[in-house]
């Protein structure tokens, strides 16, 4: 992830810091670009940077048996990658895969630890965000076990749109099947159902959301539960 020229931050998590703490924190950040399909970390690997997306977004994936995997979380401009450092752990528990290219802010681990030590406000904020991440992972586990593929796909599309800030994005059947932990035929049936209801169009990996309100209705309650937890913890 090569550094680029600094740009104004638009990460909601950092925006929630008091001005003085935020300005000091940003002074130790550098601007970077998230590159599509870039793997930022693997399970068990040491984390070298904390990353605050300001335009792109990252999938948090738990690999199974070294082959398949399941997306257990997503990080966009509402959050950060590297939250385990708040617990004093500098090893990633998941694979961090860039799913949406775009700008980000990053800081090396040593500088981040210094900032944590200097800012009680940052500590409080990130502890609350850690709670949000734990809730998202738990919600995804329950969602995967109990909800039908169509509702889970609708939830995933809404989460992606929230972070991509676009009505149209590209994602293949293969990748969706990987993210949702189902066979490709299951993704095909779910996508066709949403398309028949005129909620989306899906052609050769290009997804366009036509009716967001309808998609929210088609989604399981996990999408609203995630949003409610974030709002309650971080406002």
Confidence of residue 5 (pLDDT cuts 50, 70, 90): very low
For the segment 101-112, the average pLDDT, to the nearest whole number, is 96
Confidence of residue 64 (pLDDT cuts 50, 70, 90): confident
In the structure encoding, which two tokens stand for residue 154, read together? Answer: 């609708």
Q: What order of strands is seen across the sheet that includes strand 95-100?
A: 39-41, 95-100, 57-64, 68-75
What are the backbone angles phi and psi of residue 45, rounded to the nearest 5°? Answer: -85, 150
**Is pLDDT of 33 > 80?**
yes
Angle between helices 19-27 and 120-146 (to 10 degrees): 80
Please say whether the beta carbons of 130 and 86 come within 8 A.
yes
Straight-line distance from the first to the last Cα atom of the chain, in angstroms, rounded to the nearest whole number = 31
Angle between helices 149-164 and 184-196 (to 10 degrees): 80
Confidence of residue 66 (pLDDT cuts 50, 70, 90): low
For the segment 136-155, the average pLDDT, to the nearest whole number, is 95
Of 2-11, 70-79, 167-176, least confident by mean pLDDT is: 2-11
For the segment 141-168, the average pLDDT, to the nearest whole number, is 94
pLDDT the model gives residue 215 = 98
For the segment 151-179, the average pLDDT, to the nearest whole number, is 91
**Is pLDDT of 1 > 90?**
no
Torsion of CA 79, 133, 42, 31, to 10 degrees: 10
**Is pLDDT of 65 > 80?**
no
Percent of the chain with pLDDT over 70: 95
Which distant-in-sequence residues (6+ apart) come within 8 Å of 160 by Cβ? 57, 74, 99, 100, 169, 171
Domains and CATH numbers, the chain: 12-143 (2.60.120.10), 148-219 (1.10.10.10)
pLDDT the model gives residue 6 = 43
Helix (H) or strand (E) holding 155: helix 149-164
Q: What is the pLDDT of residues 201-231, one digit of tens each?
A: 999 889 999 999 999 999 999 999 999 999 9
pLDDT the model gives residue 69 = 83
Alpha-carbon span 18 to 15, nearest angstrom:
8
**Is pLDDT of 139 > 90?**
yes
pLDDT the model gives residue 205 = 85
């Amino acid at each position: 992830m090569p550094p680029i020229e600094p740009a104004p931050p638009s990460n909601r998590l950092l925006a929630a810091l008091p001005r003085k703490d935020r300005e000091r924190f940003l002074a130790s950040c550098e601007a970077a670009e998230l590159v599509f399909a870039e793997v930022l970390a693997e399970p068990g690997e040491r984390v070298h940077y904390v990353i605050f997306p300001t335009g792109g977004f990252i999938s948090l994936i738990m690999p199974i048996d070294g082959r398949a995997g399941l997306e257990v979380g997503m990080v966009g401009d509402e959050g950060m990658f590297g939250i385990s450092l708040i617990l004093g752990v500098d090893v990633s528990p998941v694979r961090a895969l860039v799913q949406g290219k775009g700008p980000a802010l990053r800081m090396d681990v040593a500088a981040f630890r210094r900032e944590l030590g200097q800012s009680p406000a940052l500590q409080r904020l990130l502890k609350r965000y850690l709670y949000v991440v734990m809730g998202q992972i738990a919600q995804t586990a329950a969602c995967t076990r109990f909800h039908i593929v169509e509702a889970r796909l609708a939830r995933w599309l809404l989460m992606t749109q929230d972070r991509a800030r676009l009505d149209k994005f590209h994602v293949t059947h293969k990748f969706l099947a990987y993210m949702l932990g189902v066979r490709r035929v299951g993704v095909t049936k779910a996508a066709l159902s949403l398309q028949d209801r005129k909620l989306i169009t899906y052609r050769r990996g290009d997804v366009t959301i036509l009716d967001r309100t309808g998609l929210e209705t088609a989604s399981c309650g996990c999408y609203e539960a995630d949003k409610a937890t974030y709002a309650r913890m971080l406002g």
